[in-house]
Amino acid sequence: MIEIEVKARAEHQQVKELLTGMGAVLIGVQHHCDTYFNAPHRDFGETDEALRIRSVDGRSVMTYKGKKLDTVSKTREEFETEIDGGNTRSILLALGFYEAGVVKKTREVFRYENMTICLDNVGSLGEFIEVEITAESDVEIHTKDIFLFLAKLGIGEEDSIRTSYLEMVLLNNISEQCEEKKG
Amino acid sequence: MIEIEVKARAEHQQVKELLTGMGAVLIGVQHHCDTYFNAPHRDFGETDEALRIRSVDGRSVMTYKGKKLDTVSKTREEFETEIDGGNTRSILLALGFYEAGVVKKTREVFRYENMTICLDNVGSLGEFIEVEITAESDVEIHTKDIFLFLAKLGIGEEDSIRTSYLEMVLLNNISEQCEEKKG
């Protein structure tokens, strides 16, 4: 499964009015605390991979993201599993993985046609939009669809940001910590 | 949490009669398909660690076991989390881990006092007993308790086997495969 994803900065109030006008549906508000891990045998900062434990409103999910597959979007191979957050953290640390950083955000999730739209408020980093299509193939077609959709919100291809929240947080040197429940 | 565990060969029919006589309770029969992984950055065969995905009657669990902590029992540090088996396998392979071997067995689980007793029928390897106590500390006391219990079944400390099923399977060169449901 491939996640085709485009991210940009966005004024949430303005975007929400446009989304509502189009008929996009708000399906939920989530509070994420994301702990990113780096590997003992290769540097994910260099290989452009990510390994994350997301704690979201009491549940924990582990996600692996492969390196980006093109030069304009954030499309990657992605695998995800629900987990016990505390024990999985212990497994990763025992295997030699180590914490690279923590990102806390509030995410409002909208659904529109085959797209998931996330309005992310990321601590001191500010407001962002992420538009995502999950598919087996046809990356180029889906990427084009996402940019056509973003254009309706006044966001152009040149506004696309490929830097991850983790990279931004590390650049800003903000240190946080998730309150993981031990399992 | 530490798992204090002793394993030995055992004639199941004879052991079951003794267990029943003592008042041990059969709490279930499980069908395990265990896939063991090795790491890209260190050889678990040398470090005496284990990383396993166990598929048991439709559920999947990932377990990490640290190296053995003494010279007579199979006591180790252990962390466990329920997972989506197919996606977690994909995550491990993407991270560079690789399959070391597969062990299939039928396990009858009994409970007696603070002990879990497993009667394992491991494919071509034969019949075994594993006795386990899970505790925070006091490894020596619990190990002694387990050997006292095994003595009642006619099994002596010299019968204790520290070789894992995986090692036995690899020595016998039996190749199998789990039928993991893709998540």
Q: Is the per-residue pLDDT at B142 higher than 60?
A: yes
- Helix extents (H) in chain B: 12-22, 44-47, 85-94, 139-152, 165-172
Q: Is the per-residue pLDDT at B180 higher than 70?
A: no
pLDDT for the residue B2: 81
Count A/B contacts: CB-CB distance under 8 Å. Answer: 67
**Closest chain A residue to B82, measured at CA:** A83
* Burial tier of B12 (Cβ tally within 10 Å: 0-12, 13-18, 19+): middle
What is the set of domains in chain B, with CATH numbers? 2-182 (2.40.320.10)
Of A29-33, A80-84, B118-122, B160-164, the one with minimum mean pLDDT is B160-164
Residues of B in contact with A41 (CB under 8 A): 39-41, 96
Per residue in A112-135, pLDDT (tens digit) is: 999 999 999 998 899 999 999 998
**Cβ-nearest to A64 among B77, B95, B183:** B95
Q: Give the separation between CA A103 and CA A33, rounded to whole angstroms.
A: 6
In chain A, which among 96-115 make CB contacts under 8 A with chain B?
A: 96
> What residues are paired with B109 via a beta bridge?
B28, B118
Would you please indicate which residues of B are annotated as catalytic (active-site) residues? 36
**Nearest CA-CA distance, residue B81 and chain A, Å:** 5
Kindly write down the DSSP assignment for every residue of A72-115, as one continuous string. Answer: SS--EEEEEEEE-HHHHHHHHHHTT-EEEEEEEEEEEEEEETTE
Per residue in B45-95, pLDDT (tens digit) is: 899 899 999 999 889 999 999 987 777 666 778 899 999 999 999 999 999
* Burial tier of A33 (Cβ tally within 10 Å: 0-12, 13-18, 19+): buried
pLDDT for the residue A179: 72
- Asked whether the beta carbons of residue B41 and residue A96 sit closer than 8 angstroms, the reply is yes
Q: Are the beta carbons of B177 and B169 closer than 8 angstroms?
A: no
* B183 vs A: CB within 8 A: yes
**Nearest CA-CA distance, residue B4 and chain A, Å:** 18
Nearest CA among B128, B134, B124 for reference residue B107: B128
* Burial tier of A16 (Cβ tally within 10 Å: 0-12, 13-18, 19+): middle
This prediction's pTM: 0.81
pLDDT for the residue A82: 98
Q: What is the band of B182 on the pLDDT scale with cuts at 50, 70, 90?
A: very low
Q: Is the per-residue pLDDT at A41 higher than 90?
A: yes
Nearest CA among A14, A160, A182 for reference residue A88: A182
pLDDT for the residue A175: 63
Strand A115-122 to A50-56 pairing: unpaired
Residues of B in contact with A3 (CB under 8 A): none
**Cβ-nearest to B87 among A81, A88, A94:** A81
**Closest chain B residue to A67, measured at CA:** B94
Residues of A in contact with B50 (CB under 8 A): none
Q: Give the separation between CA A62 and CA B88, rounded to whole angstroms.
A: 9
Average pLDDT rounded to a whole number, residues A31-44: 96
Q: What is the band of A180 on the pLDDT scale with cuts at 50, 70, 90?
A: low
* B64 vs A: CB within 8 A: yes
**Nearest CA-CA distance, residue A36 and chain B, Å:** 14
**Nearest CA-CA distance, residue B127 and chain A, Å:** 30
A64 is catalytic: no
